[in-house]
Structure 1
Amino acid sequence: MSSPSSDFIFLNEEFDEEPAKPQEFWDVLIVDDDSEIHSVTELALSNFELNGKGLRFHHAFNGTQAVDILRDNPLISVVLLDVVMESDDAGLIVAKRVREELKNHVVRIVLRTGQPGYAPEEQIIRQYDINDYRTKTELTRSKLATTMVTALRSHQQVTQLSLQSHALSQVLLASEQILNFSQLLPLSRAAIKHLAHFTAGPQQGVVCGLDDDGVEIVYGGTGEYQNLHHQHLEESALTASVKEQIKASFKLAQHQHNEHSVSFFFRAKQQQYVICLEGEHIIEHALMQYIDLLLTNVGVGLDNVLLVDRLRNVAFKDSLTGLCSRNGFIAALERLQKNTNAHDYLVLIDIARFADINEGLSHDIGNLLLVAVAQRLQAQHQQTQVVARLGADLFAVVSNEEQLPFAQLQQLLRAPFIAAEHQLHLNFTFGLCTQPHFDSSALGTLKRASIALSHAKADISHSYCYFDKQMEEQVSHRLAMIRRLREDFADGKLEVWYQPQVDLATAQPYGCEALLRWPIGQGQFISPAVFVPLAEDAGMIIEIGQWVLEQACAKQRELAQHGVDMQISVNVSVPQFKASDYAQSVAQTLARFAVPSDKIELEITESVVMDEVEQVTRTLNELKSYGIDVAIDDFGTGFCSLSYLHKLPFDRLKIDRAFVKGIPEQDNGEIAELVVSLANRMNLRVIAEGIETEQQLQFLKSIGCHEGQGYYYAQPLDGKKLDTYLKLSN
């Protein structure tokens, strides 16, 4: 509102002439319906300067105009606001709208009035959030300048607090997002976006770190660099100047800034990082502490994600060869199976007799060979979809018959491999599963290739085998049999039967062989040739073997209590004999059942003798020290060296039924005669099994064989029938 005495507010004060023009300004809005007040206020403050900044004036002549100007110019610092204009409370309405409608709590409002009675000072300041309240008669030039200084400093403080509050909110928001990322690329992009918010520049840049060798790596980027991921800095599409700036940041451990880009260096617990933003960016000193706080949280996020990546690599990468591990292969195959064609195939590749290489040439050479095989397979990456190392000497390849025919893959592996000074030809066994036989799951497909590989290993005439559905049915049946064997053994359904062993001269039984039987009902049994390998595969053979020994000991003691002097032979498997404490375990079992050591004989096959000869020798000598007899079962069917036979402490040789059953029609008995002659020369007892006819008996007696067993005398008998047989024999 105009006043006829407006001029007196500048009474007796002089004005400087030709004021200097500053380069920066504070924006001030004068709101008054008297144009003369605008002029004299602007004149009075014409030379005003604070912190090197002058004043730049904006003018409004009513409340509505003032609100519009403030809406369009949020950087205005101070409003000199008349109270009474188009209405008695026009200025108060403006103040209220600025705070409530425009949500501008930063601009400082100085109320001025020529009619002080309209609005009490304390009430107005409290109610309308204004910075100062003055009557126009108070505002001399010096007081106006003082009021302006107070208002601008207040504006600075409020602006700083608002800026800090906003910056802290942005840091918290950004940190919450960044720390929730589990992958490097999206985390990198989010970090660039949030950092660019603080620098008011383009959101184009990269996040970099160092690899284990100290080489700069680009983890991810935005804008033109959004496709960069885990790439060496030198190989990236960044400009030479940006690359140099990033390197300088790492080398000097400092932020770097020029008119074209800015690079922020920061350390985390595990790593050093640089985020580079391209374009023009403003680095405000007041925001640096918040930028550093953001970078700290970004560093924590990057450390966490890189740690997860390392753990993922441990789980999904083979550390020796760099190929996919079993877990990584299954994950890759799961993805590949979503888009396969009829020519795709999975092949498992097993190195034959790799353990011999490790033992003969050292594990270091073995590792070099594995790496060489991996490199040769990986060299075909354009023709293969995935290459993996699934086990010690087991590799897997998924490829396409049109891109890499299996025959070509075989040919690829025929060339020798170099390991240090060694050049070695390797033999491989292959198990294949073609796409029509792929299972719905990757594990199922891998299982089918494994079944084919097992068949290939079992078939010495071929080095490879393709999976077919019948194989899986056989495996399922085998697993069902193992499950049933486990259940029946736990339920005590297995039985030990006994086949008498007789003196051929007198036809009197002197001993018997304990034979394991698995009844399945209605007088039917599963052959030992079927279930013994099942028990070995299931890891049950040691437990079952011990149970058979205990049953034999119990039967021997029972017979002895009835006055029957009988030695019982018990078959021993390879896993049992391999146990380091086997001899001691047998002796303890005999002692527990109070059975003399010479009343139990252990029968081992030639395969036991040939497996780990030194350990076998130690075990045999231990058994002899306990007074326990040992016989070689099925002699002549294996590959036992005669030198071992001469050195090892055996008591008896057992002629296999294969050398008896054809006598005399299909077999002249030469091998049986040879075994008897050998045993006699070495002072070993000899027993023939499988005697079924009088002719066979007479021939064996004629060549000096004194002991035998077979259907000619008796079939295997359960415990009660054995008792009856022995009574009748006596």
Structure 2
Amino acid sequence: MDELLVLEGEPGDVAGLMPMPWRILVVDDDADVHEVTAFALGSISILGRPLELLHAHSAGQAGKILDNVAEIAVVLLDVVMESEDAGLQLVKLVRNDRRLDSTRIILRTGQAGQAPEAETIARYDINDYKTKSELTQARLFTSLTTALRSYDQLRRLERSRQGLEIIVNASNQLNAKPGLRAFAEGLLTQITALIGVESEGVICAVPLPLDNDSAPREPRIVAASGRFTPFTEHRLAELNDARIAAALATALHDRRTTIERFSATFFFPKSDEEGFAAFVETTQPIPEVDRDLIDVFCSNIALCAKNVDLVAELRRDAFVDRQLGMPNRTALLVELNRRIQIDPHGKDVLAIIDIDQFATINDILGHHYGDLLLRTTAVHLGEFFGAGKFVARLAGDAFAVVGDRDALNPESIQRCFSDPFEVMGIRQPISACAGLVALDRGSEPGAEYLKDGYLAMKRAKDSGLAQTMVFSNDLASDVRSRARLLHSLRSAYESGQFFLAYQPQIDLIDDRLVGAEALLRWRAADGTMIPPARFIPIAEKSGLIVDMGRWLLREALLARQRLSAAATFELRMAVNVSPVQVRRPDFANMVIEVLRETATPASALEIEITESVAIAGLDAVIGQFEALRRYGVTVALDDFGTGYSSLSYLDRLPIDSLKIDRSFVLALECDQGERITRTIVVLGREMGLRLIAEGVESLALRDKVVEIGCHEAQGYLFGRPMNEREFIDWFTQRQGKFA
């Protein structure tokens, strides 16, 4: 945080001025008394200060003087003037109406019998009572000295009380200031209140040294008033006032506060190294202020400055992404609401942009490279979309851009990422998915648009790489439908609406049953069958697939025992697993645990995976499958040829079987499709894999898959997916004939 300097306007030459006089109000209807009093007190000083006499010849005149003249220390008051109680009425005016509690009152009367009652003297705080005859010069001097000393003590106490109030108020007000400049401007007001004079001011900041430079940088003016106002945000050297600069330099160097009659230099310590100074100068003498009070004031103001630093830092954290130094999600919401308020049906759009495969880039090239890529992306977005745009970082590798729809659209977003980004000398091809939403739905809150933009972006991510989706009512309806389905999915799982169907797998050499594939089915409460293609992706996204997968495995292995008993031989049970399950580090242990719970031989279980497991990261899943194979479980690759970069990782996966997708089996009916399918079979045989053909629905297709070298098959020709009872009946009716 910068150190602060406060400068006050130069009033001109103030040298040689005398100390402020004590003001004495003489109230008497006898002109001779005024003359004698003036003669007696004319040339003397009391407590180091001269006297200034003010004359009133009646209580009425005295009241007017009290209304217009401040700091009257003592009233020499005649008891009887225009009326017998005129003096006492003036006393009531002083104490009750004007609330001049510090002003001392000395009553004078020409006759001893006119003395007020003792109760009256006590009630109105009358300091002394003398007859005029006994007030010789010496006695008058003594009475005044006593009264002035009392007045001075009372004023000091009053100023201390007021000063403490000022300090408390200053703390409350300055703590609420939103930044350095506002704090500096507020400090001028508080200093003026403390010293009790009006003044002009300038506040400067002394920056801390740079990290690579031990010398402090030149001070700058951050707030100013009076004739110095034009110098705000200028360097202090441009002020051209050597006297003020010297006073401030001394205060900062010596770390001390100096109070003089017509000027004051305050120092406010923030730490052992930091502090800020205030120079104040006025045309009026500065009233004496208690030194301890000054110390309390300076310490309190310094603490306020630290609080302002903290508030400023919290504000930066609230609206600025600390890593990239750009607007964050909160700042984006403020900007969205601002634009919507200006034009509720405008042409602006919000784009949520998420870098494709950023986690993979981060893992391969390192977090430092990933951080630099994020910085490069942030800069590029700002430069590419130009003026009028607003760019913010939402989280991770997700950014937001707000701008005119003519410049911000699906085509421009993809053009933005068409050229590789250069990071650390590496030209990195980058793609991104984006969700767009138009800010044209009236005064809807910015948070709603942000939510819709996220929905569109996530739908774009589901569609693949470098995709853009525009939010629409249909999209919103589909999202709501998915949300309802997820809710129903949880209820269905808890209420037992899921069941397993089993499709037989046949050995093509001797036409015998060798196994079955367990398939998950969902019959809703109303009897409607929900397709797996609808509920499996939602179960995966919600994470529910993990619990469902364990339940499915256990149910399938228990059913295998019963089916094997009916068939009088050991059946192999094939169970599909999701990439979400495989990603869990305890996946292999979970499978082995269920095998033990169900007393199932490991060789009787085949785990089926799809090519999408490669997206989870091969290194993460290979160890899982190797552990299962060592235990005796076989692994099959399902739907081969339809997924992700098949040949690039096929020989790395520890698998035993290759299932040829139904689409390639049906393609055997045409010459071009047959060549592709034969190539897959040759590849599988070269790798020593068991080949299983899916979707065999006719004898002609059965003959084809036998001809090209497949070992096993499944499909409607042999049997549809059946529940456990249907499967046993099917086996019994066939009596071993499955072709």
TM-score of the pair, normalised by structure 1? 0.86
Alignment pair present for 1:350 and 2:354: yes
For 2:445 and 2:423, how far apart are their aligned partners in 1? 37
**Where does residue 235 of structure 2 map in the other structure?**
234
**Where does residue 150 of structure 1 map in the other structure?**
146
For 2:701 and 2:113, how far apart are their aligned partners in 1? 142
SS in 1 for 2:144: helix
Q: Structure 1 residue aligned with 2:368, among 352, 364, 367?
A: 364
Amino acid at match of 1:702: E
**Where does residue 11 of structure 2 map in the other structure?**
none
Amino acid at match of 1:691: V
Amino acid at match of 1:174: A
Cα pair distance change 1:661/1:77, threshold 3 Å: same
**Where does residue 539 of structure 1 map in the other structure?**
543
For 1:198 and 1:348, how far apart are their aligned partners in 2? 53
Gaps of at least 5 residues in structure 1 are 1-20
Q: How many residues align?
A: 708
Q: Map of 1:377-392 to 2, 5 A cutoff?
A: 377-379=381-383, 383-392=387-396
For 1:235 and 1:716, how far apart are their aligned partners in 2? 87
For 1:439 and 1:42, how far apart are their aligned partners in 2? 78
**Where does residue 57 of structure 1 map in the other structure?**
53
Gaps of at least 5 residues in structure 2 are 1-16, 211-215
Cα pair distance change 1:247/1:516, threshold 3 Å: farther
Cα pair distance change 1:146/1:69, threshold 3 Å: same
Alignment pair present for 1:475 and 2:471: no
For 2:621 and 2:517, how far apart are their aligned partners in 1? 22
**Where does residue 199 of structure 2 map in the other structure?**
202
SS in 2 for 1:531: helix
Q: Map of 1:101-250 to 2, 5 A cutoff?
A: 101-119=97-115, 122-179=118-175, 187-199=183-195, 200-202=197-199, 204-206=201-203, 208=205, 210=207, 213=210, 234=235, 250=252
For 2:181 and 2:158, how far apart are their aligned partners in 1? 33
Q: Map of 1:315-334 to 2, 5 A cutoff?
A: 315-334=318-337
**Where does residue 304 of structure 1 map in the other structure?**
307
Contact 1:676 1:686 in 2 (8 A): yes
SS in 2 for 1:568: strand
Q: Structure 2 residue aligned with 1:694, among 691, 699, 719?
A: 699
Cα pair distance change 1:244/1:723, threshold 3 Å: farther
**Where does residue 502 of structure 1 map in the other structure?**
506
Question: Residues 520-575 of structure 1, C-alpha deviation per residue, up to 9 Å, x if partnerless?
Answer: 35654222222222222222222221111111122123334554532110011212
**Where does residue 94 of structure 1 map in the other structure?**
90
Q: Which moved more, 1:326-335 or 1:258-267?
A: 258-267
Contact 2:432 2:465 in 1 (8 A): no
**Where does residue 708 of structure 1 map in the other structure?**
713
Cα pair distance change 1:579/1:106, threshold 3 Å: closer
Alignment pair present for 1:394 and 2:398: yes
For 2:658 and 2:384, how far apart are their aligned partners in 1? 55
Contact 1:83 1:112 in 2 (8 A): yes
Q: Structure 2 residue aligned with 1:267, among 266, 269, 285?
A: 269
Q: Which moved more, 1:186-195 or 1:591-600?
A: 186-195
For 1:453 and 1:445, how far apart are their aligned partners in 2? 12
**Where does residue 35 of structure 2 map in the other structure?**
39
For 1:223 and 1:91, how far apart are their aligned partners in 2? 46
For 1:475 and 1:390, how far apart are their aligned partners in 2? 22
TM superposition shift of 1:74: 3.3
For 2:237 and 2:504, how far apart are their aligned partners in 1? 84
TM superposition shift of 1:710: 0.9
TM superposition shift of 1:388: 0.8
Contact 1:92 1:128 in 2 (8 A): no
Cα pair distance change 1:161/1:235, threshold 3 Å: closer
Contact 1:329 1:388 in 2 (8 A): yes
For 1:380 and 1:628, how far apart are their aligned partners in 2? 54
TM superposition shift of 1:711: 0.8
TM superposition shift of 1:445: 1.4
Higher RCO structure, 1 or 2 (CA under 8 Å, sep 6+): 2
Cα pair distance change 1:504/1:143, threshold 3 Å: same
TM superposition shift of 1:323: 0.9
**Where does residue 72 of structure 1 map in the other structure?**
68
Q: Which moved more, 1:209-218 or 1:475-484?
A: 209-218
TM superposition shift of 1:153: 1.8
Amino acid at match of 2:300: N
Contact 1:233 1:243 in 2 (8 A): no
TM superposition shift of 1:254: 4.3
Cα pair distance change 1:617/1:275, threshold 3 Å: same
Amino acid at match of 1:583: A
Q: Map of 1:559-574 to 2, 5 A cutoff?
A: 559-560=563-564, 562=566, 563=568, 565-574=570-579
Amino acid at match of 1:596: P
Amino acid at match of 2:722: L
For 2:647 and 2:448, how far apart are their aligned partners in 1? 47
Cα pair distance change 1:510/1:35, threshold 3 Å: same
TM superposition shift of 1:679: 4.1
For 1:685 and 1:636, how far apart are their aligned partners in 2? 16
Cα pair distance change 1:677/1:281, threshold 3 Å: farther
Contact 2:175 2:308 in 1 (8 A): no
SS in 1 for 2:289: helix
Cα pair distance change 1:646/1:446, threshold 3 Å: closer
TM superposition shift of 1:457: 4.1
**Where does residue 337 of structure 1 map in the other structure?**
340
**Where does residue 618 of structure 1 map in the other structure?**
623
SS in 1 for 2:321: coil
